[in-house]
Amino acid sequence: MELHILTLCYIIASVTFIIGLKMLSSPATARRGNLVAAAGMTIAIFATIFLFREDDGKKLHNYVWIFAGLIIGTIAGTLAAKKVKMTAMPEMVSLFNGMGGACAALISAAEFYHTYKINQGAVDTPFSSLVGVGQYITIAAGAIIGTISYTGSIIAWGKLNGRIKDFSFKGQHIVNMIILVLVIGAAVWAYQSAMGNIYLPFILIGFFAFIYGILFVMPIGGADMPVVISLLNSFTGVAAACGGFLYNNKAMLTGGILVGAAGTLLTILMCKAMNRSLTNVLIGSFGGGATAAKGEGGTKTQGAYKEISLADAAMVMGYANKVMIVPGYGLAVAQAQHTCHELEKILGEKGVEVKYAIHPVAGRMPGHMNVLLAEADVSYDKLLEMEYANDEFATTDVVLVLGANDVVNPAAKNDPASPIYGMPILEVEQAKTVIVNKRSMKPGYAGIENDLFFQPKTSMLFGDAKKVLQELCAEVKNI
C-alpha cells in the first residue's frame, strides 16, 4: 500500500514540475509556477523520507541527520535568497547550481561505495562482472557531469563577483580535450579493474573531472557568461537524472530531465543570441581575452561624444510620442528599477507611450532584466523581446539606454574586427534620438569601446542610474 502511495506522490510531483516549468515561461505566471514546482518537490521529499523502502524492505533511518540537513539547508537558502541583491542574483544562481552538481556527484560516489562495500570480499572479481554496463555508465556519468558542474559553477560564481579573473593560455583547447579523454579513460579503467584495485581509477575520474570543470570556465569572459550559466544548469539536470536512474526515483528522474532539457534549449538560445557555436562552448574556451576592436594599422579611432543636460533630456522625453527604455547591468547595480518604473508612469501620464527593449543576455544571466523589472511591478506587456523591439525602434522618438553597453553596440553589425561581431543586438541607432546613461565612458563587460556613443544622434547622460532617474522624474513633472 505504501509503495502505491509513494508512486502516486512521485507522479504528482512530476506533474507539478512540468506545470511549474510551463508557467515559468511567462513573467505573469512565473512566480506561481515556482511555488507549484516547490510544492511538488516538498511532496517528493517527504514521501521519500517516510514511504521509500530499500531492497531489503527496510525504511530509511538516521532521521536526525536527514532533518538536520533539511533544516540547515532551508535556513541557509532562505536567508541567502532574502538578502541577495539583484546584482548578485547570477552569483547566487551559479553557487546554488554548483551545490546541485556536487549533490549529484556525491550520489554517484555513494552508489559506487555501496557496490564496493557489499562486494569487498571479492578482491579479484572485475567490477564489470558485478555491475551492468548501463548502471555503471549512469554512475560514472553522474560523477563526471556533477563534478564538472560543481567546479565550473564555483569558478563562474568567483568570476561574477570579481574574485576570479579570466585566465587562458595557448593550446587550451587541446589541453581541455586531453583532460576530457583522461576522464573517460579513467572511467573505462575503473569498470575493467578488479575490486581490490578499483579505488585509484575512480578517484582519478573525480580528479580529472574536477580539473576539467575549472579549465572549462576559466577562459570565459566578456558578455558570454549567460551562456555558460545555462550550460552548467543543464549539466546539473543531467547529473540529477542519473541519480534518478540509480535509485529508480521517478520524481528525481523527471526533475533532472526537465532541468537538463530546459538548460540545453536555453543554452542553444543563448548561443544564438551571442553568436557563439555550441561546439565552442563544449570545448571550453570562448569569449575570453576580448580586446578593443581594431581597424587597419592600430586602434580604431572614434569621434567626440556629446553630453546632454538633465533638463534637455527631460524635455526631449516629455514631448516625445514614444520612448523605449533599454535596461542593462548598470540599472541593476544602481538598484534603480523602481525609479525607472516611476519615470515610466510619469511619462505615461503625459501621454507618452513607454516600452522596454530586453536583450536576452543583458545583465549577467538569462532573464536578468526581466526579473529586475518584475520586482518593480513593471507591466509584462511592456517588455519587448529583442526581435519585436528592433521592429519598433524606427518609429521611436527617444531611446533611453540605462547601463546597457555591449547589447547595443553597432560594432556587432558593422565591424568584422570586433570581438562581438555577428552578435544580435538591440538596434537602438534606428531611433530618432538616443540618450545613454552611464557612470563613465569605461567599456562594458566585453571590454570593448561602444561605437554607439560617438554617433551624431547619441547623447551621453553621465551619473548613477538611480540618481539620474530621480532627477529626470522631477524634471519631467515640471514640464
Residue 291: predicted pLDDT: 42
Supply 253's cell numbers: 528522474
Is the model's pLDDT at 57 over the cut of 80? no
Query: In this predicted structure, which of 85-89, 196-200, 228-232 has the lowest mean pLDDT?
Result: 85-89
pLDDT digits (tens, 9 = 90+) for 310-330: 999 999 999 999 999 999 888
Query: In this predicted structure, which of 198-207, 391-400, 417-426, 456-465 has the lowest mean pLDDT?
Result: 417-426
Cα separation, 41 vs 43, in Å, equals: 5
Residue 295: predicted pLDDT: 40
Residue 432: predicted pLDDT: 95
Confidence of residue 171 (pLDDT cuts 50, 70, 90): confident
Q: What are the sequence ranges of the domains in the chain?
A: 84-283, 302-477
Residue carrying the nine cell digits 572549462? 216
Residue 297: predicted pLDDT: 38
Residue 207: predicted pLDDT: 96
For residues 370, 372, 377, 380, the Cα torsion angle rounded to the nearest 10 degrees is -10
Is the model's pLDDT at 52 over the cut of 70? yes
Section 219-235 average pLDDT: 79
Is the model's pLDDT at 334 over the cut of 90? no
pLDDT digits (tens, 9 = 90+) for 340-357: 999 999 999 999 999 999
Counting residues of the chain whose pLDDT is more than 90, the rounded percentage is: 49
- In 3D, which of 189, 224, 226 has the Cα closest to residue 204? 189
Fold of 302-477: Rossmann fold (3.40.50)
Span between the terminal Cα atoms of the chain, in Å? 73
Confidence of residue 2 (pLDDT cuts 50, 70, 90): low
Listing DSSP states for 381-399 in one string gives GGEEEHHHHHHHGGG-SEE
98 in Cβ contact with 153 (< 8 Å): yes
Distance of CA 86 to the CA centre of its chain: 14
Q: Enter the DSSP assignment of 298.
A: E
pLDDT digits (tens, 9 = 90+) for 441-470: 776 655 678 889 999 999 999 999 999 999
Cα separation, 137 vs 250, in Å, equals: 19
Is the model's pLDDT at 43 over the cut of 90? yes
Residue 59: predicted pLDDT: 78
Query: Which whole-number Å values give the CA distances from 266 to 258, 272, 419, 422, in the listed order?
Result: 12, 10, 22, 19
Residue 268: predicted pLDDT: 84
Cα separation, 374 vs 368, in Å, equals: 10
Section 125-133 average pLDDT: 87
119 phi/psi in degrees, rounded to 5: -125, 20
Residue 15: predicted pLDDT: 95
| Burial (CB count <10 Å: 0-12, 13-18, 19+), residue 179 | buried
306 in Cβ contact with 459 (< 8 Å): yes
Residue 252: predicted pLDDT: 92
Residue 284: predicted pLDDT: 45
Query: In this predicted structure, which of 216-220, 236-240, 252-256, 385-389 has the lowest mean pLDDT?
Result: 216-220
198 in Cβ contact with 190 (< 8 Å): yes
Just list the catalytic residues.
406
Residue 209: predicted pLDDT: 96
Residue 114: predicted pLDDT: 85
Mean confidence (pLDDT) of the chain:
86
